[in-house]
């Protein structure tokens, strides 16, 4: 509580690093961005966009998601 943050819903984010251009992106279990889809039971699998460059991602969250069993 008392913390602030930024939430991005769509569009280009150029404040990232170490991305592989063209890679599909997912939320990481720590709340960041990763190219590795989660595989742990109970986690949500949802594509959130793709890497445009090593430092930019186009956020286009998928409307569909699944909770892993």
* Prediction pTM value: 0.80
Query: pLDDT for 8-65, tens place per residue?
Result: 788 999 999 999 999 999 988 787 889 999 999 998 899 999 999 999 999 998 889 9
Q: Is the dihedral of CA 45, 46, 50, 54 positive or negative?
A: negative
| pLDDT at position 6 over 80 | no
| H, E, C per residue of the chain | CCCCCCCCCCEEECCCCCCCCCCEEEECCCCCEECCCCCCCCCEECEEEEECCCCCEEECCCCCCEECC
pLDDT of the residue at 22: 97
N-to-C CA span, the chain: 31
pLDDT of the residue at 32: 83
């Amino acid at each position: 509580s008392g913390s602030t943050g930024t939430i991005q819903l769509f569009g280009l984010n150029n404040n990232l690093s170490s991305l592989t251009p063209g890679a599909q992106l997912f939320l990481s279990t720590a709340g960041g961005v990763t190219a590795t889809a989660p595989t742990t039971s109970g986690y949500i699998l949802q594509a959130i966009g793709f890497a445009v460059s090593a430092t930019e991602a186009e956020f286009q969250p998928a409307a569909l998601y699944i909770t892993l069993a």
